[in-house]
Amino acid sequence: MVLPAFVFLPLYMYPYNSTSWSTLTTSVVANPELKFHVIVAPNLAFTDPDVNYVASLTNLSSYANVLTLGYVYTSYGNRDVLEIEAEIDKYVAWNLPNELPIGGIFFDESPSNNSTFPYMSTLTTYAKTSLGAGKDYIYLNPGVAVDASFYTLADSINIFEESYANFNETSLTSLDNSLLAKSTYAIHDFTGTTTEQTALVSQLASANLAGMLITTQPGYTEWSSLWSSFCSEVDTLNLGNGTGGGGGGGGGGGGGNGGGGNGGHGGGSGGGGGNNGGHGGGGGGVDNGGHGGGGNSGGHGGGGGYGGDDECDDDDDDDDEDKDDEDEDEDDDDEDEDEEDDDDED
């Protein structure tokens, strides 16, 4: 079993104020041994980060257990290489002295066909060379299992992005353990109880996965109602196996995931002053594809439509109750949620 497992989080919520990402930072502080791989700027690098993004990313970068990755998408190998490289250059600029450093690049909608290997090799090599050592973490998201050759290009590959209803173990049982150790799963539309989520977390970690995400939402523009307990469950599993997460902070810092997290934090794009700018926003990727505007599953549309300041519902202590009972308890005990304003891509 590979541990510690990290939390994979596409953070496709615009930071309207200093508390917009407090649901995340609260979990980061509460689970200091748990690593978070956070994807920022779904509205890409079309503009420099605005003041809200700068403030929120600066705060996020202060936590040693957070690795922040800049978002680009390949449209499954259909986008022009030079266009994507220009977007990577924007993130490189954020890494200049006194600017916002990031720890690498997240390639969403990355292709899985073996014929696209040279295409992805060109892009990942460019990203690593441009960002430099210690800031060159590469995360691919084809959303399906890929040939072993692609693992030579990346630090992590997300091999499953489906709803809970479509969850299957095919990749967990078919891939070699050494590949699973660099793989992640993202499961959305989770409808189970907290107890069932705990069992699923254990199942994924036991399969040798490096990281995971389970969310009750259809995309990544709102917090899962079980977010807080999800983080606690992963952390508890890590600690129970004697493998705390460790930090990967600031330019390639120390110890996560068995020797040397790829650090550096920051980097995100405000995208048109924080409204619906460029290619931001909802679910995107394998399940929520397309590049239309807005909505939870609007692909690359509407990058900041949702205010990130809503608080995620705290999970009920009684894990054995069914989901209806949990919902009633959450109504009594959970923090009030702020209204979302609007709006990714995985």
| CATH code, domain carrying 162 | 3.20.20.80
Whether 32 is in a domain gets the answer yes
158 DSSP β-pair partners? 184
Return the pLDDT at 94. Answer: 85
For residue 345, being part of any structural domain is answered with no
pLDDT at 172: 93
pLDDT band at 50 (very low <50, low <70, confident <90, very high): confident
The pTM (predicted TM-score) of the whole model is: 0.73
Per-residue tokens: 345: 């891509």
Res 155 pLDDT > 90: yes
pLDDT tens per residue across span 301-319: 333 333 333 433 444 444 4
Count CB-CB contacts under 10 A for residue 30: 12
Count structural domains, the chain: 1
Would you place residue 215 in the very low, low, confident or very high pLDDT band (cuts 50, 70, 90)? very high
- Asked if the model's pLDDT at residue 127 lies above 80, the reply is yes
Q: Give the integer Cα–Cα distance in Å for 19 and 25.
A: 9
Q: How many CA atoms lie within 13 A of 194 on its CB side?
A: 24
Is the Cβ–Cβ distance between 26 and 63 less than 8 Å? no
Domain assignment of residue 342, yes or no: no
Q: Average pLDDT of 323-332?
A: 46
State the residue range of the domain holding 183.
Answer: 6-332
Question: pLDDT class for 96, splitting at 50, 70, 90?
Answer: confident
pLDDT at residue 14 greater than cutoff 80: yes
Q: SS3 of 227, please?
A: helix
Residue 343 included in any domain: no
Least confident of 24-28, 128-132, 256-260: 256-260
pLDDT of residue 243: 53
Query: Average model confidence (pLDDT) for the chain?
Result: 77
Q: What is the mean pLDDT of residues 44-48?
A: 58
Of 47, 51, 46, 45, give the one whose Cα is nearest residue 20. 51
Amino acid residing at 143: G
Query: Where does the pLDDT of residue 320 fall: very low under 50, low under 70, confident under 90, or very high at 90 and above?
Result: very low
How many residues can be counted in the chain? 346
Confidence of residue 47 (pLDDT cuts 50, 70, 90): low
More confident call, 122 vs 18: 122
157 - beta bridge partners? Answer: 140, 183
